[in-house]
Structure 1
């Protein structure tokens, strides 16, 4: 795979999935088996979930701790009959050149896209100018790679949502192929971003909020599952184990992102009475 070849069939096929009649529904896997099962059901593209990859290794998400696990999984998944896009958190480095080198390595390995976020631990957003440097560096080293630029203006509790459109537009000018705004669930705001952005808009599927069909009607280009499938797998495993031990056991419920993240910190919940 030549990372500098923007006409690669793999890159072109992944790009076309974002410009189809319906949004690209992107399930996110956390290990080889979960990705292989999704590929076996015919999903044309599969992403990784940074929470799932990190938590499965007993590491925290969003801190860069799971770089080695992410890279190893990415290389393994490219053998599957599906296009692969990798969540690289903030790029595992603050140095644009190092992030670009990582992206080029993934492209050479057969990865079709990457997801790069501007949020950092502690609820901080990196300066938009710095994030633009990162995106531009990635596109220079691996021009065919689909860069999904994520802005956490709706994801972080204290982030200014008014920065969403300016940041997304800046990332697009820097070379981003798609814009991702997780935490965005308002139909009017989504429709406005679809109208104003010259690139496919990616949103995170939120159970109980807008349906996939409604997101399609709004013109969204990609709908990601994020950590949802990983958390659902944890829930199913725990629920089944509890039901075997006690058929009348209460459903433990789907763990939240924070609860799944806490499992990797070694913090234990009190044992049930």
Structure 2
């Protein structure tokens, strides 16, 4: 089964998003066949806010380190880290990943659809085997946040060669009926962020084929770490975690497969 095939299985593909090698290994050991990166988590791990290309170098280092692992890796490349389509295509070609997520926004605002489509077309021409997940940020930034506008952009990106469409909705911004309308109109797999109000099965019934965790695991991990330290400081009992020796064995199991 290829990475493309995973989007057409009986159940939607659940894509956990890693922010470093350790989190990627943990997801792999939990049985996930594909792992994405998260620009927010990668940037935050370096102490920098998301966006503005802050995750570029760390993302390159991360996906290169993960290449030997028995999992498909797809990279969040923000807007491609460049305006020139050929430059973006060359960058993606050098990653060696099964897929990429590329967004139609920069500096916190939507970019013209034709500019994004040109990047998609250039990537597909340079590396046709890479799964291009074209992200549509209308709802994320509250610009032209209508189903019609989203579908218009989706059609443009699919025509340019996108293999999937990623629409990160703000929770509560759209109804299940809206999601069903989108998936029935878009001819490629539709990806959404995890929704606290809809289960995997419910999203699958609405036609969603891929669910990304985004930066949620990173943020949850930070919350858990702070909770442990706070519990100790406040004379409480910290939560239990995977024993040290088990975590050590997990790392030792995959260390020989990591690229240097």
Q: What interval of TM-score do these two structures reach, taking the shorter chain for normalisation?
A: 0.7 to 0.9
**Counterpart Cα distance in 2 of 1:25 and 1:196:** 22
5+ long unaligned stretches in structure 1: 1-11, 250-273
Per-residue deviation, 1:186: 2.1
1:28 match: 17
Structure 2 counterparts to residues 57-206 of structure 1, below 5 A: 57-106=46-95, 109=96, 111-122=97-108, 124-161=109-146, 162-183=148-169, 185-206=174-195
| TM-score between the two structures when normalised by the length of structure 1 | 0.82
Residue equivalent to 2:247: none
Q: Is the 8 A contact 2:110 2:143 kept in 1?
A: no
Task: State whether residues 62 and 90 of structure 1, in contact with CA within 8 Å, keep that contact through their aligned partners in structure 2.
Answer: no
C-alpha displacement at 1:210, in angstroms? 1.2
Q: Post-superposition shift, 1:79?
A: 1.7
The aligned length equals 233
Give, in angstroms, the shift of residue 77 of structure 1.
Answer: 1.3
Helix, strand or coil at the partner of 1:238? helix
Aligned-residue offset at 1:194: 0.9
Map of 1:260 onto structure 2? none
Q: In the alignment, which residue of structure 1 is the partner of 2:251?
A: none
SS of the counterpart of 1:61? Answer: coil
2:226 to 238, 251, 269: 238
Q: Deviations over 1:94-116 (max 9, x none)?
A: 1101110011111xx3x100000
Query: 2:203 matched to 1:212?
Result: no
TM-score (norm 2): 0.86
Cα offset for 1:163? 1.3
Distance in structure 2 (CA, Å) of the matches to 1:237 and 1:159:
38
Runs of 4 or more consecutive aligned structure 1 residues displaced over 2 Å after TM superposition: 157-162
**Residues in 2 aligned to 1:247 and 1:28: alpha-carbon distance in whole angstroms:** 34
Q: CA deviation at 1:159?
A: 4.0
Q: 1:50, 1:88 within 8 Å by CA — same for their partners in 2? A: yes
Q: Distance in 1 between matches of 2:162 and 2:233?
A: 50
What is the deviation of 1:121? Answer: 1.9
